[in-house]
Amino acid sequence: MIGIVSYGAYIPRFRIKPSQIAHAWGREASEVEKSLGVFEKAVASYDEDAITLSVEASQNALSSGKIDPKQIGAIAIGSESHPYAVKPSSTTVAGILEMGTDYFAVDLEFACKAGTAGIQLLSGFVSQGKAKYVLAIGSDVAQSKPSDVLEYTASSASAAFILGKDRVIANIIDFTSYSSDTPDFWRRDTEKFPSHGGRFTGSPAYFAHTLGASQRMLKKVKMRASDFDFAVFHMPNAKFPKEAAKKLGFTPSQLAPGLVVPYIGNPYSASSMIGLASVLDFAKPKDKIFVCSYGSGAGSDAFVIETTNLISSYQKRVKNTVAKQIKDKEYIDYSLIARNILTRYRI
């Protein structure tokens, strides 16, 4: 069976609190963190981007999995912040990782589910026997319009998953998707910042697709929420995944280990993937994990994953766990955010 052979996460060190951002814009700061359920978010430095973040996460995955990069036959990077509109991030990352030249590469975009889309797509290469290992990455230095509410939570991080048929530490039992033409969040070409539909991003967008994919997934594998040990959802804030989990019958204790958003914010394409990495960092053999991402525009990718006996020995090799990276932090003020805007938009 095809599954995860190794994985890696990268969370930039700098942190800023929503209340600091509110203060920078002269807004009421006291209620913001409580209402979002987000206490601080990870901020990439001005010399980081979706490419460098992808490299960091991938190097963690290669090292923990003791995998020779030349054995990776396909690479896909999902992001909403690819540094180039035309010029793939995936070949730059592959070059830095020394993957050689015998590989398939593609860049993906589908808002916050571009990373999980890569997992579904590249698993086909393995099942077709076209590649021994494939590398699917979700990476973002998430963009938001300065002073928009999105700024409180849009953060930066990346996660890399190497899939294969042997030395699998977690099997991908099955996956499915739910998609529709629902424009809740978008950025027109040449626009600097994304726009969103306010409250429209809730019920008709996040919930319709997350619940749609999740319900279809559970039906497909003939399982119930209570059959799982963990559940991970896309985390634009703390409220939405908690509500989705509740509606599907998952308990707070199933959700808690993967709920990273209060500490790192929403790193778009990496969100649910970091949640999954966080669970895999300490899961026991034969643990069942339910994952459902969400990407605006819109769609959700759902997965049923089960760890194998190899997970315990793998965990001993992981140097940079998600928990460790969450703890390794340094607080900054809004000046770095401002500098990042000037750098990114070449103002």
Partner 1 sequence: MKIKIIGCGLTKFGELWDKSLFDLSYEAGTEAIKDSSIDKNKIEAVFVSNMIYGKLSNQDHLGAVVASLLGIHGASFRIEGACASGGLAIHLAIQSLLAGTYKNVLVVGVEKMTDATSTEISGALMGAGSEDERRAGLTFPALYALMAKAHMQKYGTTRKHLTAVSIKNHFHASLNERAQFPFEVTEEKILGSACISDPLTLFDASPITDGAGAVVLSSETDGHGVFITGSAVATDTVDLAARESLTELAATREASRKALNMAGVEIKDIKVAEVHDCFTIAEILAMEDLGFCKKGDGGRFVAKGITKLGGKLPINTSGGLKACGHPVGATGVKQIVEIANQLRGRLGKRQVKDANVGLTQNVGGTGATVVVHILQS
Task: Identify the H or E element spanning 85.
Answer: none
Can you tell me the distance from the alpha carbon of 92 to that of 259, in angstroms, rounded to the nearest whole number? 31
Residues 128-147 that bind partner 1 (CB under 8 A): none
Within 10 angstroms of residue 177's Cβ, the number of other Cβ atoms is 19
In the chain, DSSP finds a helix count (H) and a strand count (E) of 13, 14
For partner 1, the closer of residues 99 and 149 by Cβ is 149
> Per CB under 8 A, does 251 bind partner 1?
no
Q: Least CB distance from residue 22 to partner 1, whole Å?
A: 12
Residue 31 neighbours by CB under 8 Å, 6+ apart? none
User: Quick one: which segment of 89-97, 194-202, 222-230, 313-321 binds partner 1 (CB under 8 A)?
Assistant: 194-202
Handedness of CA 259, 59, 5, 309 (dihedral sign): negative
Among 31, 102, 191, 328, binds partner 1 (CB under 8 A): 31
Q: Which of 80, 82, 209, 306 is catalytic?
A: 80
Least gap, CB of 147 to partner 1 (angstroms)? 12
**Binding status of residue 200 toward partner 1 by CB under 8 A:** yes
Residue with smaller CB distance to partner 1, 31 or 328: 31
Number of residues that bind partner 1 (CB under 8 A): 9
Asked if 74 contacts 103 with a C-beta cutoff of 8 angstroms, the reply is yes
Using CB under 8 A, pick the residue from 1, 25, 35, 324 that binds partner 1.
Answer: 35
Q: Helix (H, G, I), strand (E, B), or coil: what is residue 18?
A: helix
Q: Write down the residue that tokens 């509410």 correspond to.
A: 149
The SS3 call for residue 12 is: coil
Q: What is the dihedral of CA 302, 306, 311, 312, to 10 degrees?
A: 120
HSE-CB of 185 using CA atoms within 13 angstroms:
25
With CB under 8 A as the contact rule, the residue among 83, 204, 249, 262 that binds partner 1 is 204
CB of 53 to partner 1, least distance (A): 31
Q: Is 112 a catalytic residue?
A: yes
Is residue 203 a contact residue for partner 1 (CB under 8 A)? yes
Active-site choice (33, 48, 112, 306): 112
26 is a contact residue toward partner 1 (CB under 8 A)? no
Taking the complex as a whole, the smallest distance from the CB of residue 206 to partner 1 amounts, in Å, to 13
Distance CA 152, CA 38 (A): 8
> CB–CB of 205/247 below 8 Å?
no
140-179 residues in contact with partner 1 (CB under 8 A) are: none
Question: 238: Cβ–Cβ under 8 A, 6 or more apart, which residues?
Answer: 36, 37, 38, 259, 261, 262
Complex with partner 1: residue 9 or 208, whichever CB lies closer: 208
Residue 292 bears catalytic tag: no
Phi, psi of 282 (to 5 degrees): -140, 5
Least distance between partner 1 and beta carbon 32 (Å): 9
Quote the least distance from Cβ 185 to partner 1, whole Å: 13
Interface stretch with partner 1, choices 127-135, 193-201, 243-251, 282-290 (CB under 8 A): 193-201
Nearer to partner 1, 146 or 204 (CB): 204
Nearest-approach distance from CB 183 to partner 1, in angstroms = 12
28 counts as catalytic: no
Q: Which of 33, 40, 234, 306 is catalytic?
A: 234
Positive or negative, the CA dihedral 173, 179, 185, 188 is: positive
What is the β-pairing status of strands 185-186 and 104-108? unpaired
Q: Which of 66, 199, 246, 317 binds partner 1 (CB under 8 A)?
A: 199
**d(C-alpha 29, C-alpha 142), whole Å:** 22
Return the active site residues: 80, 112, 234
User: Where on the chain is the footprint of partner 1 (CB under 8 A)?
Assistant: 28, 31, 35, 197-200, 203-204
